[in-house]
Amino acid sequence: MSLATKNGTNPAGVIVRLMLHDDEVFRLPTASRAVQVVSGLAWLTVAGEDIFLGNGQRLWLVGAKGSALVSALGQTPLILEVLGDSASASPGMESMLKNLAPTQGSLC
């Protein structure tokens, strides 16, 4: 898994862009408002419901109960943007996201 955080002003609301490979799973931060697939195929589990997203598709998480999990499907790596409000892009959020990354993944 590769992880890149955004800092400073961020009008698009992207708080993190991540790349997942087949069999990798990521728990979305609770501050997540939406996810958008940049490339690949995503399998999300939100409130016990499975949702599949492809290139360019977005899922709004506002009002979702509990945490959401995302993983890549297929051989193509999944590149996913996690969107939140401007408060979510704080340095505290960046620190929390680094702690969520698996040890075998690389941070960028």
- pLDDT > 60? residue 98: no
CA 24-27-97 angle, to 5 degrees, is 100
Does domain 2-107 fall under CATH 3.30.365.10? My reply is no
Q: How far apart are alpha carbons 23 and 71 in whole angstroms? A: 7
Strand order in the sheet with 68-73: 25-27, 68-73, 41-46, 49-53
Q: What is the per-residue pLDDT for 85?
A: 66
**What's the pLDDT tens digit per position in 27-84?**
988 878 899 999 999 999 998 899 999 999 999 987 777 789 999 999 999 999 998 8
Residue located via tokens 């996690």: 82
With a threshold of 0.85, does the pTM exceed it?
no
Pick left, alpha or beta for residue 63 (phi over 0 → left; psi -120 to 50 → alpha; otherwise beta).
left
Domain boundaries, the chain: 2-107
